[in-house]
Amino acid sequence: MPEKKMGMKGSPTAQVHLDGVRVSDARRIGEEGQGFAIALSALDGGRLGIAACAIGVAQAALDEALGYATERRQFGRPIADFQGLRFMLADMATQIEAGRALYLAAARLRDAGRPFAKQAAMAKLHCTDTAMRVTTDAVQILGGYGYTADFPAERYMREAKVLQIVEGTNQIQRMVIARHLAGPETR
């Protein structure tokens, strides 16, 4: 039975329970006892994908907000003419570009066969936090319309939230990054 989620409707999530399943040696990935390490290593590549998704969601939210801001008129002119709103749009665009550069740099390391775990964690952390900020700002720019399902901004905001959670929460990303910077914790 699929989970009922607030977002990611196009990606069904369900529990799978396996008990007493036997896997032949020929079907095993890696050596016995290495499954957890193999699964963890797959997270690094997944984090790059999540970072790219987050920037895509953020870009869609910016595009929606910009389109609305240039069409919506207040006091005889488009709301995009107001400095406060222009600054919001500029910050949104800057954060998106920074995130895009960060995940592409991490992907280049991966493509070159170089270590990229720290950069993947940084990209996932930055890009998903950016997506949350940008989508929240997009909802704000659209005002009451941003909160309704008639406009996609509210959906982008819901999608951004889950991206901060999957492939390791952003708190876990901070632990991964710190471990790469300062080494493992000592006690």
The verdict on whether 71 is a catalytic residue reads: no
148 — alpha (psi -120 to 50), left (phi > 0) or beta?
Answer: beta
- Provide DSSP, 107-146: HHHHHTT---HHHHHHHHHHHHHHHHHHHHHHHHHHGGGG
At 4, list the tokens.
């009922």
Distances (CA, A) of 117 to 12, 94, 128, 171, 178: 27, 24, 16, 15, 12
For residue 103, give the amino acid letter.
Y
Local structure of 185: helix, strand or coil? coil
Catalytic, out of 64, 154, 159, 167: 167
Query: Which residues have a catalytic role annotated?
Result: 167
